[in-house]
Amino acid sequence: MSEGKTRIAVPGEKLGVEEEFIPGEGVYVEEGKLYSSITGALVVDPKSKKVGVSPSTKVAVPEVGDIVEGVVVGPMREDSTVVEILRIKRKRSLKGVFTGILHVSQAAKGYVDTIFDAVGLNDWVLAKVVTDWPPYQLSTADDELGVIYATCPKCGGELILKRGRLFCNRDKTFERRKVSIHYLLKEGSYVGKDSKRG
Ligand SMILES: [Zn+2]
């Protein structure tokens, strides 16, 4: 785990199993599984295999209705994927990373076949929290929600919003996404080396 990217555990969050880890501070065991009993920073000692949660006093946790910003970290499954929640809008002191799940049924207002039609790996997304417990279930269905920044899976270039869809200027291909109205790179406002005006 890298510095400055503390994972925050919340009460009742599953942290692992007894075969893997020894419970430390702020952790309880139930039916062989380790859970956090408090809100705080996750501390894992790889040598002793001890997992603990260090209490922190001022940690904002996601709540139902919160709009969060995060990045799709995968794994990408047909029906869902994992989003690392990095920021909660209008809330102070989110000092760590929370785990969210985006299910395909919550990805858009209409029917979406698979999660691959809604988000891609490493996409930045705006999402709404729909459950109060971890891993937090997220929704990207509203117009303001969805992908706000994405790169091309083929060339790595930035995708721009063109006629409501994401487009790679280099490959001349469209990528399927549930795009937010707040998508950062819009055709016309984008000044890339391949872009043409008018
Ligand atoms: Zn490309």
Q: List, for residues 5-34, the tens digit of each pLDDT value.
A: 678 888 889 999 999 999 999 999 999 999
pTM of the full structure: 0.73
178 C-alpha to ligand 1 centroid (Å): 18
CA dist., res. 127 & res. 67, Å (int): 6
Q: Which whole-number Å values give the CA distances from 50 to 7, 34, 43, 95, 135, in the listed order?
A: 15, 11, 8, 22, 22
180 C-alpha to ligand 1 centroid (Å): 20
171 C-alpha to ligand 1 centroid (Å): 4
123 C-alpha to ligand 1 centroid (Å): 14
pLDDT digits (tens, 9 = 90+) for 59-113: 678 889 999 999 999 999 999 999 999 888 876 666 678 899 999 999 999 999 9
The contacts of residue 94 (CB under 8 Å, 6+ apart) are 59, 60, 85, 86, 87, 88
Show the domains of the chain with their CATH numbers: 8-55 (2.40.50.100), 60-198 (2.40.50.140)
151 C-alpha to ligand 1 centroid (Å): 8
- Closest C-alpha to 30, from 49, 11, 54, 43: 11
pLDDT digits (tens, 9 = 90+) for 144-166: 999 999 999 999 999 999 988 99
193 C-alpha to ligand 1 centroid (Å): 13
73 C-alpha to ligand 1 centroid (Å): 20
